[in-house]
Amino acid sequence: MPHIGLPELLVLMVTLLILMIPILLIISVTGRKVTVTCPRCGTETRRGGYSWWQILVAILFFPIGLLALAAGRQPTECTDCGFRWQA
Ligand SMILES: [Zn+2]
């Protein structure tokens, strides 16, 4: 059994930390709750988010996978009148 010293442990921890950065970054960007005003009735509603596959691709293929987010958000649907538009 190989002996794991302090330097190896530090390298492992730093590597894990670096791997965590894109995940936290993508989740914070895609999970933001942005409110927009409905162009038909003026009610404030939550902006349409990204699909689960876009978030998955962005994390798995970081940073190239970020291009998946360029495919755009899902349309926003007004909670009051049901009007759908691309916000
Ligand atoms: Zn509306």
Q: For residue 1, is it within any domain?
A: no
Q: How far is the CA of 86 from the centre of ligand 1 (A)?
A: 13
In a domain, 36, yes or no: yes
Average pLDDT over residues 24-53: 91
| 87 alpha carbon – ligand 1 mean position (Å) | 13
What spacing in Å lies between the alpha carbon of 84 and ligand 1's midpoint?
Answer: 8
Ligand 1 centre from 85 Cα, in Å?
10
The reported pLDDT for the residue numbered 42 is 97
The full DSSP string for 29-80 is HHT---EEE-TTT--EEEPP---HHHHHHHHHTTTGGGGGGGG-PPPEE-TT
CA distances from 38 to 51, 74, 79, 81, 86 (A): 21, 15, 9, 9, 11
Return all residues near 50 (Cβ < 8 A) that are at least 6 apart: 30, 69, 73, 74
The DSSP string of 7-35 is HHHHHHHHHHHHHHHHHHHHHHHHT---E
What is the model's pLDDT at position 1? 63
Contact 53, 65 (CB under 8 A): no
The residue range of the domain holding 22 is 6-85
Question: What tens digit of pLDDT does each residue of 57-87 get?
Answer: 998 998 899 999 999 899 999 999 999 999 8
Average pLDDT score over the chain: 91
What is the Å distance from ligand 1's center to 80 Cα? 5
Q: What is the pLDDT of residue 67?
A: 94
Is residue 13 domain-resident?
yes
Which band of pLDDT confidence, cut at 50, 70 and 90, is reported for residue 30?
confident
Number of structural domains the chain divides into: 1
Confidence grade of residue 31 (pLDDT, cut at 50, 70, 90): confident
